[in-house]
Amino acid sequence: MITLEEIKKFIEWEISRLDKEYKGSEKEHIFWANLKIAEETGELTEQVLTLLGFSRKVKIDKFDIENLKMELADVILVTMILAKRLNIDIEECLKKKIDIVSKRIYEEIKNDRTRT
């Protein structure tokens, strides 16, 4: 099992590697990371569609769940790279969002109970 701290360390390392390999301003790196999220999301979508049988038979026949897992990981990692480049604390954002969603779900349940 990997911890969030280990992932964050990897993100730091990967950003350093990308900065050395691809010269450009921070603004350009942010732009590229944003585009990369769209690319990886498209690849994940293709894998999910294939899993569900909404692709050509040749793709369905070659489907491997490991590819879907790797595309999902790509989306998460590139999103974390973008967050870091934007100086956004992903852990704090996740905590806030989980709190918002939890309250929203609770309110929906509470409202459903009062209607019956």
Q: What is the pLDDT of residue 113?
A: 67
The domains of the chain are located at 4-85, 89-116
| pLDDT per residue as tens, the chain (116 positions) | 999 999 999 999 999 999 999 999 999 999 999 999 999 999 999 999 999 999 999 999 999 999 999 999 999 999 999 999 999 999 999 999 999 998 886 666 767 766 65
In contact, 78 and 19? CB cutoff 8 Å? no
37: left (phi over 0), alpha (psi -120 to 50) or beta: alpha
According to CATH, the topology of domain 4-85 is: Helix Hairpins (1.10.287)
Quick one: how far is CA 100 from the chain centroid?
19
Compute the distance between CA of residue 86 and CA of residue 30 in angstroms, rounded to an integer: 7
